[in-house]
Amino acid sequence: MNEINNIKINNDEIQSVFPRVAETIADAIGCEVEKVKLNASLIDNLGAESIDFVDIIFRLQRLFKVKIPRGKIVEEARGSLSETEFEKAGVVSDAGVSRLRDYLSEVPPDRFKSPLNVADIPRLFTVETFCKLVIRQQRATPTADVSTPA
Amino acid sequence: MNAPTLTDAGMAGRVALVTGGSRGIGRAIVETLAAVGMTVAFTYRENAAAAAEVIAACERGEGRGKRGEGRGDTSLSPHTPHLKPHIFAEALDVRDSAACGAFVEKVVERTESIDLLVNNAGVIRDNTLGLLEDEDVRVVMETNVTGTFNMTRAVAPYMISARQGKIINVTSVSGEKGGRGQTNYAASKGALNAFTRSLAVELAPRGITVNAVAPGVIDTELSRAVREQAGDQALSRILLRRYGRPEEVAHAVWFLASRFADYITGEILHVDGGFKME
């Protein structure tokens, strides 16, 4: 894991991006913004489908002027683990689950099912996951829009 | 019920991206879309002179009908020499995923949207199985299949976010009907037909249609070797007893890109003069 991602993200930072992230997610999924709580699971609580993730990431990139490469969340969660150390035959290893728990600290521990399939990782993502993703990419992108609307 | 208006295909002012637009079928597609008033960004592999000729022909309104008035400079960058209103081109290898992404970003910076993607870029390296080199297989699969993935993945997020768009893949009759010496090409085009049907399922919830046009033997430089080798035997397999013209394929693309095809998705439209199974 690189230095940027080891720096702790505090609650103020999350709150500063949350309204715009929530609005983006609501627009992409087509739900009321009031339903987009910080701890809501995108798939289980908001009914997002995989195609919605493409839309959400696309909109967040344009809104915050950051680059979010494909597979960024899993890649960062995996950190220094090799792909084979992280997962075998589509199932996340114990070491991989440990990294995910650490990286996705906003996700309640009981939501990490065992065994955890790689394909089910997006099921863990909450609205806060995307707030943190934006903040990390803002730190990595000098030209990112870090303004806080009044 | 209102009387149908069949003169407005709903394409004028919209934006198309066409891969492999400098020659043959691709050129006819670019010229046809430009003729109905679309802004067209197209890619070409390396023949800058041919690309410039396409742009010039579109500007003159030659061949495929009259175009509307220009809307100023739509240049992609100061380094791109082929810049005219409504139409621009850039040298690009569709096998390069990053280059596809960068090109799409440049197009959208200028046009704000992409309404139509035509995946036309393709290569042929015909030979019987025993004589095919590894490179013949690799280049055909990577250009025809991976290249289509690359450009589609670059464009799709814009369409998904806009909740509208049309994607048209140019495949081939060989994707469904056997042809000697075309295992690599046929496999790539068959893959694109399957790609078309699956992507149609994925993108339908966002109002995006995905179709394919499957040309038969068309009178182009690309197919010259096939036509010369097959001679009269090839013609005898075509019910209409002639080779197709590039613009006849372009007209099918135009139809699928028009509002008249809004309710068509996941289809493979054959433009092959009635090519017979052997």
H or E element, residue A28: helix A11-29
CB contact under 8 A, B160 and A58: yes
DSSP H stretches of helix in B61-146:
97-111, 134-141
Whether chain B has a CB inside 8 Å of the CB on A75: the answer is no
| Range in A5-14, A68-77, B250-259 the model is least confident about | A5-14
- Kind and range of the H or E run holding B63: none
Please check the confidence at residue B68 and state whether its pLDDT lies above 90.
no
Instruction: Please write the tens of the pLDDT for every residue from A31-83.
Output: 999 999 999 999 999 999 989 999 999 999 999 999 998 888 888 888 899 99
How high is the mean pLDDT of chain A?
Answer: 89
* Interface contact B203-A51, CB threshold 8 A: yes
Cβ-based contacts of A54 with chain B (< 8 Å): 156-157, 160
The pLDDT assigned to B186 comes to: 96
B72 Cβ contact partners less than 8 Å away, ≥ 6 residues apart:
B85
Question: Would the CB atoms of A54 and B158 count as touching at under 8 Å?
Answer: no
Using the 8-state DSSP alphabet, how is residue A110 labeled?
A: G
Q: Write out chain A residues lying below 8 Å of B203, CB-based.
A: 51
The two beta strands, B208-215 and B268-271, are parallel
B217-240 mean pLDDT: 83
pLDDT at B4 over 90: no
Percent of chain A with pLDDT over 90: 72
Q: Who's near B96: CB < 8 A, 6+ residues apart? A: B150
* A&B contacts, CB < 8 Å: 20
In the block, residue with structure tokens 């043959």: B24
CA distances from A75 to A44, A65, A78, A119 (A): 23, 20, 5, 14
Contacts with B202 from chain A: Cβ below 8 Å: 51
Interface probe for B, chosen from A58, A61, A67 (most Cβ of B below 10 Å), is A58
Beta bridge partners, B91, equal B44
CB atoms within 10 A of CB B48: 15
Q: How confident is the model at residue A133 (pLDDT cuts 50, 70, 90)?
A: very high
Residue whose structure tokens are 């908001």: A46
Identity at B224, one-letter amino acid code: R
Structural contact between residues B27 and B246, judged by C-beta atoms closer than 8 angstroms: yes
**Global pTM exceeds 0.80:** yes
Active site residues of B: 185
Among all residues of chain A, which has the CA nearest to that of B201? A51
Which of these, B113, B92, B89, lies nearest to B101 by C-alpha position? B92
State the smallest CA–CA distance between residue A54 and chain B in angstroms. 6
Residue B5 — very low, low, confident or very high, per pLDDT cuts 50/70/90? confident
Q: Is A94 on the interface with B (CB under 8 A)?
A: no
**Cross-chain Cβ contact A54/B157 below 8 Å:** yes
